[in-house]
Amino acid sequence: MSGAREKKRAKRMRNQPASVTLPAEPGPFLGGGSRACPSPGDIRSEHQYHQQKYSNQSSGPSYRKDQYFPKGQNKRERGRGRGGWQGGCQSISEEMPKYITVSTFAQARAAEISAMLKAVTQKSSNSLVFQTLPRHMRRRAMSHNIKRLPRRLQEMAKKEKKEQSKTKCRKARRRHINLVAEFNRRQRKNIWLETHIWYAKRFHMVKKWGYCLGDSPTEKSYRACYRAMTKHCLLQDLSYYCCLELTGKENELLQQLARICSIDTGVTFEEAYCLSGGFEGSLNLYRADRYPEDMLGPVTFIWKPKDGSENRQLWIWMHPALKQDILRELKAIFQCSEPEEIYIPEPASTSVQEEKKMDIVLSLGKKRKKEDDEGEKAVPVKKIIGDGTRDPFQAYSWISHATGIVISDRSMEILRYRLIGPLSHSVLTETLKAAALQTEMADSDTEQNSWWVENCKDSAKVSLHQRQSAIFELLEGLSSPSEMLPGTILGLTVGDPRVNLPKKKTKAMPDFEKYQDNAKVRQLYLEGVPVECAHSFIWDQDICKNVTENKISEQDLNHMRAELLVPGSHLDLGPSESKIPILLVQQPGKIAGEDRPGWGSGWDIYLPKGWGMAFWIPFIYRGVQVGGLQEALKHSEYKRTPHTPNDFPDCQAGMMFAKELETSLLEKFKRRPPAKRANYVKLGTLSPFVCPWGQLTKNWEGRMKTSGEFGHAASPHPECCASEEHSFSGPKAEEVKETSPETEVEETMEVTSSESVIKKDDVAGTQDSGERDETMTSDFIVLRSEKLLMQLSAWCYPTAGKDRRIRLISRLGQKEITEDVFLPILMSYPRALVWVHLSLLRKGNPELHTMICIPTEDDLLHLSKDKLFCGPEEPKHHDIFKQKIQELKEEKKKKKKKERNNVKALESESLSIPDKETTEECEDLILGLWSGALPDVTSHCSRTLLGYVTRGDFSLATGCGEALGFVSLTGLIYMLYNQPADKKGLVLLRTPASFQYRFARLTIEV
């Protein structure tokens, strides 16, 4: 039988029962049977029939010649025409049994009939009914007109048409009521910010931390965003940050909050200038009484200014990845186990004008009423404002009966925008105008601005509002927000910013001549904002609710603009203009370090929910550049501050981020063929996709315990002792030298790396696969003590001579690096990491997970002789896993070949168990990656490993490659202790996919 006939016959036999045989050509079958007659022994139960059916399907049809023709008979010997068929039936009648069991026979036939009906009715492909017809019978109208089909296929076509979803046309889908309903449905799973639609049209969107957020612009704007941060203004929506509100007595709040922070790291909740409510504070939280271990994450906090009552309000702002851990810890320390009340959020809030219009429409009856399935009048669809994923029956406020402290979750109830850049206050003063005083209600039927009318009757509050307005206008006279005190808070009540929209998009610029000789501007610069001016009505939830519900809709504003006598002129709403309470918080920008002080400073704007786009569009019209998550990452990178949660490896959110990043990078690595990806084993990169912080600190601790002294230079490959710990002072000379030829270097590295693996292979084999994950758990800490960081920062400064170094250390108020000074530090923090900044001396671009290594004496000597020396090169390592992977692949090919040749069942059963083991081994072994437990990461390469880079790129601010990362505290002190005075802080950087080391300067900015 030809190949084409075999394929045709396989297609015809695909949906047939196992007992039915169908020859390629009419004629006698095996045993003389015809194609309509079953075999004589085919009287069996339905269960046996299904077993044979599935076994035939799994093994696949075999089309051997002897299956259809008896032995000694071929195509030429078959009878053709009627004679062949008659002969077949005669032979069957001779072999038919005399007696049969009717029940068994009927069951077998019923199973065949049901299988046949199922094969006929069930579609074997995804094609439509009219596509199963021959091409000469098809008509174009069949796709939408069922009557064009043959009558036998019309019923099946009707079922198909019912299965297809009835999608509305685009015009119907784009109607406002349908759009709102669709948007409400889509934000039930992931929270949408109020600026989501604006972002989705211009940004790449990502789903993170339960939100839908803009990641990066679709247009090229990397340099434009940097220029905006440096020279003008960049706008970001930080409304996804979570806010927890604590209410209670001040003493009880401070008593418990002191347990989750430490004065050793800097600011605490008890700081006097923050406690007054005039400044914002930032700190790191830990689990109760567990400092410096069990890090929770960084937060910012704002105290409400004192208003005479004994209860105080505190806002704690945090990243959404940290919210659950911090909320759980706060509920534990304050013993808030019972919810205060069950908050049922309204699905939306419509303005009073919209409700009036709805009543008019219902009364006139001119519009058709939308009805639901039950026939009742459906409630009009309202837009979700705030968190659309909130469960109506879940508590979002908890109270402690012992202390009376209430914890409330106000996430997405307060919106937060950030303006970054030197002209951010110019954008603020042009966009926002202080609210006008109002003593009478514009409309007695509504509650719009009722709270503002009541407060305007109080002379003290009126004078406070006038002082706040005067200070707000003086901000335009400052050249940069960094001239204000860090964290300054200014409360204000403003009018509707949509009224002040310019005719076209402009760029906000300051007017320095207006405030050139103004004494009030100089006074503001020297004294700052008074504490009383930090008061804002945004702290009152009832006022925020009133402001949100009584917002004038965009449609009403457009109608009012259309009725103006002069098109494009200023729209004066008078008393009906909305009044919005906001809070302005100054962001200090870059504080640590000596270069670019105040870079990246700006303002944060806090405003009630529902007013997001009303403030967003006016900011856009003032020429600001909008950024997403990537721009926020670059902003913190240029400020040289840790970014949440990327740069917090000792908290749960940071560990989760590292695992997700490793998974994504590993999947991306596997998608490339082996010839088109780097072999990290040969490159000497043990962990290219994740930083093994736990093992790094553990290995350095082992080296310190074994050595006991820092006086001698370390060999990158010291002799391994029985406990597999490495010492600082190795008696063995370095096996790898830069002066040796390249061939000798490669041979040496291959021998040493393979020997170290062979020595540790037995130990690694006994360890569980989960040990590698255990090394990345929080068995280490990050040093955040300001006192110790200042000491380390002073030790990193290079000086020309010993006397100059002593004068520098004494001028900084620190001690010289001696064993008496640093040994107590190492005893207190044996496994600690230090946040460092790295700047390349010459060319080079650091990347993620770049290795930070200690240069040898030969490297420093070579650099002092040749200033253009870029750095040494790492010798090529030997891939010890390559041969094993090839052997496993060959075994797999052999087994596949045996399966194709139809090996006996006994042989296949005997090979089934080792087959699973080999497949598991193949999955674990990936060509180019280290398999199993990692060896000593510090001494695996020719240069001793010190740490890893978490963020690195070419810096537009400095014009060279810069990086941020962590190094081991023990390794850093060891390096600084052994380096000469003029080479302090010099390290080597090597990217994971390169052999080239490059010199960089290490600094610690506090």
pLDDT digits (tens, 9 = 90+) for 304-328: 998 878 889 999 999 999 999 999 9
- 10 Å CB burial of residue 1 (0-12, 13-18, 19+) is middle
Beta bridge partners, 490, equal: 584
Mean pLDDT (the chain) is 79
Does residue 559 have a pLDDT over 60? yes
Are the CB atoms for 941 and 687 separated by under 8 Å?
no
Are the CB atoms for 191 and 211 separated by under 8 Å?
yes
Q: What is the pLDDT of residue 414?
A: 93
Least confident of 142-146, 358-362, 805-809: 358-362
Least confident of 565-574, 702-711, 912-921, 936-945: 912-921
Enclosing H/E stretch for 974: helix 969-978
Are the CB atoms for 296 and 322 separated by under 8 Å?
yes
User: What span, in angstroms and rounded, lies between the C-alpha atoms of 265 and 296?
Assistant: 14
Does residue 772 have a pLDDT over 60? no
Least confident of 80-89, 209-218, 494-503, 684-693: 80-89
**Better-predicted residue by pLDDT, 270 or 907:** 270
Per residue in 596-636, pLDDT tens? 888 999 999 999 999 999 999 999 999 999 999 999 999 99
- 10 Å CB burial of residue 475 (0-12, 13-18, 19+) is buried
Q: What is the pLDDT of residue 449?
A: 82
Are the CB atoms for 497 and 551 separated by under 8 Å?
no
Q: What is the pLDDT of residue 750?
A: 44
Least confident of 82-96, 171-185, 745-759, 871-885: 745-759
- Per DSSP, the three-state class of 730 is coil
The half-sphere exposure of 97 on its side-chain side, counting CA atoms within 13 A, is: 11
The half-sphere exposure of 867 on its side-chain side, counting CA atoms within 13 A, is: 0
Per residue in 408-433, pLDDT tens? 999 999 999 999 999 998 999 999 99
Structure tokens at 68: 């259809």
Place of tokens 């007992």: 19
Supply the pTM of this predicted model.
0.74
Q: At 397, give phi and psi (nearest 5°).
A: -150, 130
Q: What is the pLDDT of residue 34?
A: 41
User: What span, in angstroms and rounded, lies between the C-alpha atoms of 323 and 197?
Assistant: 25
**Better-predicted residue by pLDDT, 442 or 439:** 439
When pLDDT is cut at 50, 70 and 90, the band that residue 477 belongs to is confident
**Torsion angle defined by CA atoms of residues 344, 345, 351 and 357, in that order, rounded to the nearest 10 degrees:** -60
**Better-predicted residue by pLDDT, 524 or 415:** 415
- Per DSSP, the three-state class of 11 is helix
Does residue 926 have a pLDDT over 70? yes
Q: Is the dihedral of CA 497, 500, 505, 510 positive or negative?
A: negative
According to DSSP, residue 371 is labeled B
When pLDDT is cut at 50, 70 and 90, the band that residue 341 belongs to is low
**Better-predicted residue by pLDDT, 18 or 968:** 968
When pLDDT is cut at 50, 70 and 90, the band that residue 805 belongs to is low
Average pLDDT of span 766-782: 53
When pLDDT is cut at 50, 70 and 90, the band that residue 970 belongs to is very high
Q: What is the 3-state secondary structure (H, E, C) of 865-883?
A: HCCCCCCCECCCCCCCCHH
**Better-predicted residue by pLDDT, 85 or 106:** 106
Beta bridge partners, 782, equal: 833
Task: Write out the DSSP string of 422-470.
Answer: TTHHHHHHHH--BPPP--S-S-TTS-TTHHHHHHHT-HHHHHHHHHHHH
Q: At 673, give phi and psi (nearest 5°).
A: -70, 155
Q: At 711, give phi and psi (nearest 5°).
A: -75, -25
Per residue in 121-170, pLDDT tens? 776 667 777 778 888 888 888 877 888 889 888 888 887 776 555 667 78
Q: How far is CA 200 from the centre of its chain?
A: 17
Average pLDDT of span 205-213: 92
User: What span, in angstroms and rounded, lies between the C-alpha atoms of 371 and 30?
Assistant: 68
Does residue 754 have a pLDDT over 70? no
Does residue 92 have a pLDDT over 80? no
**Better-predicted residue by pLDDT, 730 or 215:** 215
Spell 188-208 as b/e; 16+ CB within 10 A means b: eebbbbbbbebbeeebebeeb
Does residue 106 have a pLDDT over 80? yes
Per residue in 544-553, pLDDT tens? 999 998 889 8
Does residue 751 have a pLDDT over 80? no
Structure tokens at 640: 């040289």
Enclosing H/E stretch for 409: strand 406-409
Structure tokens at 102: 């009717």
- Per DSSP, the three-state class of 987 is strand
Q: Is the dihedral of CA 271, 276, 282, 287 positive or negative?
A: positive
Count of all residues that appear for the chain in the document: 1006
Does residue 359 have a pLDDT over 60? no
Among 68-72, 451-455, 503-507, 960-964, the range with the most confident prediction by mean pLDDT is: 960-964
Among 54-68, 160-174, 307-321, 558-572, the range with the most confident prediction by mean pLDDT is: 307-321
First to last CA, the chain: 83
User: What span, in angstroms and rounded, lies between the C-alpha atoms of 980 and 332?
Assistant: 51
When pLDDT is cut at 50, 70 and 90, the band that residue 21 belongs to is low
Beta strands, E only, 780-920: 781-782, 832-840, 851-853
When pLDDT is cut at 50, 70 and 90, the band that residue 368 belongs to is very low
According to DSSP, residue 561 is labeled H
Q: What is the pLDDT of residue 608?
A: 93
Are the CB atoms for 247 and 659 separated by under 8 Å?
no
Output the CA–CA distances (angstroms, integers) from residue 397 to 97, 340, 343, 607, in the order listed.
82, 6, 8, 21
When pLDDT is cut at 50, 70 and 90, the band that residue 397 belongs to is confident
Are the CB atoms for 471 and 588 separated by under 8 Å?
no
Does residue 67 have a pLDDT over 70? no
Per residue in 690-729, pLDDT tens? 999 999 999 999 888 887 645 444 444 433 333 333 333 4
When pLDDT is cut at 50, 70 and 90, the band that residue 351 belongs to is very low
